[in-house]
A = this chain, B = another copy of it.
Amino acid sequence: MDTINHMKHFMEPKSVALIGVSRQTGEYAFNILKNLLDYSYQGRIYPINPNASEIFGVKTYHAIAEVTENIDLAVISLPRSLVPSLVKKCAQKGIQSITIVTQGLGDASDEKGKQLQKQIDEIVKKNKIRILGPNTFGTANAFTNFSSSFVKLRMERLPIGVICQTGIFLINSPHMKLIGKGIDLGNACDIDFADSLEYFEQDEQTKVIALHIEGMRDGRRFLKAAKRFTLKKPLIAMKTGKGDYAARAAQSHTGSLIGSDEVWNSAFKQSGVIRVGDTEELGDAVKAFCTLPPVKGRKVGIVSFTGGFGIVAMDACQKFNLKLPEPSRSTINQLGKISPSWLRIGNPADIWPGMMIGRTYMNGLTSSLEAFLADDKIDAVLFIGGALSRRFSANLCHLCEELAKAHPYKPFVCYLYGAYYQEAKDRLEESSKTMVFPSVERAIRTLSHLADYSEFRSSF
């Protein structure tokens, strides 16, 4: 069986054996079977438990050998000393894809853990099976309502895939929603980043991939896969374990090799991988690649209620290597019409004085944003404005929705402030192809990632 088919077994199993499943329910049960039933997973489930013939109404088998049907995936969550013999039994039954949830194997500090891992490795070598983990949540797939995570997930059908080395990334949080589809490599004794990329490369439900990398055995193979992948879809990587001490800790967690941080930087750059520094940057970037159109270049136009935050945006553009060109003549003319004569019109454009003229506000704002969005000298537009009152904010949102619709080929993002920030953000991100950021810095940083990827793609 080739890698793709193995990976499909992990990601889209039609039948799954759960080895080591209990009757426990409730908040602290962390029961994979109960989770699958709650998700309404439609595949066949074979719980294995020597002491039960039924759990939660599902027929339960005393041993894996008793199951006569074909099984795509086995998920093992048993005490570590039992794992090698169970892997062997799975192989004998003809199961070719096995997720090992159990901790304390390659990640253990004692000799026993390493010996047990070696036994597993030998079984893998002798049989045509593939292992995901150990020390893993396994996989998650919102499109088939499947996950082997013992933590119950709130999956959404997002076009995002994640490949990670800790289960946190499979848990959607308000500050980082990545699932979609996910693969937790855990100790990565067998299935690795390159294997997982092969799956996502051909997967049409996934448009962008997030990576959480602590280290890997075969960096060369990964980079080759990444280079091919990034020609099709964006790949965003958070590489942790940067310092010596952290790198050693990462090595003990995954049992894998670590390169110096500079080596990673240049490898990522060469293969078109967007590197991010923390989870917020990762969440922002992934969302942007899902939401916004590709950006043509590095030239940003800024339309702001306040000159002071125009300066904040200039600092951010300098930091993240974006340009702030003079707008075209027609843009300057359009802003000139609505601005007081004493106002210097440029980029960033301070539009509050113009909005106050005639006290119509929305007219001045509309014509300023329209001019920047239509300007050929501008590749992306950041709007800095206030969600100042319920009605003002609602009007602002309506305008931004219309503008985003009218300019679908130019990234248009917002930094908003004021008491109605959250309402405005929720509405705009729900209704249109725009993003609302909690800081100017994060908006500009995210646009710079879009620009980096466009540059990489256009160099081929």
Contact = CB atoms under 8 A, between A and B. Distances in A.
Contacts of A360: 28
B343 A27 contact: no
Nearest to A315: B242
A295 interface: no
B104 A340 contact: yes
Nearest to A241: B311
Contacts of A314: 241, 243, 245-246, 249
Interface string A325-351: 000000000000000111110001000
Residue among A242, A249, A280, A311 with max Cβ neighbours from chain B (10 Å): A311
A175 B226 CA distance: 36
A308 interface: yes
A392 B314 CA distance: 44
B439 A280 contact: yes
Interface in A163-182: 164-168, 171-176
Contact of A311 (B112, B173, B214): B214
A329 B181 CA distance: 43
A421 B174 contact: yes
A449 interface: no
A103 B166 contact: no
B417 A309 contact: no
Given A171-B386, A176-B417, A359 B311 contact: no
Contact of A27 (B104, B252, B392): B392
Given A361-B28, A419-B154, A308 B439 contact: no
Contacts of A266: none
A350 to B, nearest CB: 8
A92 interface: no
Nearest to A391: B27
Interface residues of A, number: 84
A240 interface: yes
Contacts of A277: 441
Nearest to A352: B103
A279 to B, nearest CB: 5
Given A308-B165, A388-B171, A315 B439 contact: no
A419 B153 CA distance: 9
Contacts of A175: 417, 421, 438-439
Contact of A214 (B252, B278, B308): B308
B278 A439 contact: yes
Interface in A107-131: 107-110, 112-113
Contacts of A439: 175, 278-280
A353 interface: yes
Nearest to A108: B342
Interface string A213-256: 01000000000000000000000000011110110011011000
Interface of A: 24, 27-28, 80, 103-104, 107-110, 112-113, 151-152, 154, 164-168, 171-176, 212, 214, 240-243, 245-246, 249-250, 252-253, 277-280, 305-312, 314-316, 318-319, 324, 340-344, 348, 352-353, 359-361, 386, 388-392, 395, 417-419, 421-422, 438-442
Given A107-B307, A249-B311, A279-B439, 16 more contacts: A28-B392, A103-B353, A110-B342, A167-B308, A168-B305, A168-B306, A168-B386, A171-B386, A173-B419, A175-B439, A214-B311, A241-B311, A243-B315, A278-B441, A280-B438, A280-B441
